[in-house]
Structure 1
């Protein structure tokens, strides 16, 4: 574990609940805190940590991936994403996890992560569409 990787992991561990960072967001944050970690190192590190199961890689309808600490059950959660406002709502649903475990077991898999991302348009986004 390099000092850069430790710093990246520490940043994710200390994020407020519900906050997700892209590699670029993380780079900007670390730069503001006086850290000199290249963007390419951040990309490699978040990809590695996602493959290891430390981080969750999320598609939040913004054209790039976001990351968060991979919380084990019962802290497991899913995302509802507005494509107009980029609002992200986290929600828990134990039935989603139960279904994923059942499907995985049927095929001999062990569940490492289960993500449900619902893409839609929030009430604010709908007002934007209909008032333009």
Structure 2
């Protein structure tokens, strides 16, 4: 059985998503370019609340495990990513549903997030 928890690297911490992350994630998501190619659009605080609630419901069903991404260099939350399509029976999962504040585009934030997640998945 998978036992997910916080993942920590040099630049980022992947913190299990909670309702307390709604406001900081909303604040980091104000650039409309973030949502240009994402299937969900976050325009209001209620949109972010629904995004988080849906992710937490998926975690309750053990179908996904969402994280809030904390950038230690900027000292703020900068996005979200998750393990999804989790199948313990088949010993597999996907990584995705990722978005980041445009402040951290072209930095090592995504690289380190994916490294931490792949390292965990193959441990």
Q: TM-score, normalised by structure 1?
A: 0.33
* Structure with greater proportional strand content: 2
Higher relative contact order (CA closer than 8 Å, sequence separation 6+)? 2
TM-score, structure 2 as length reference: 0.35
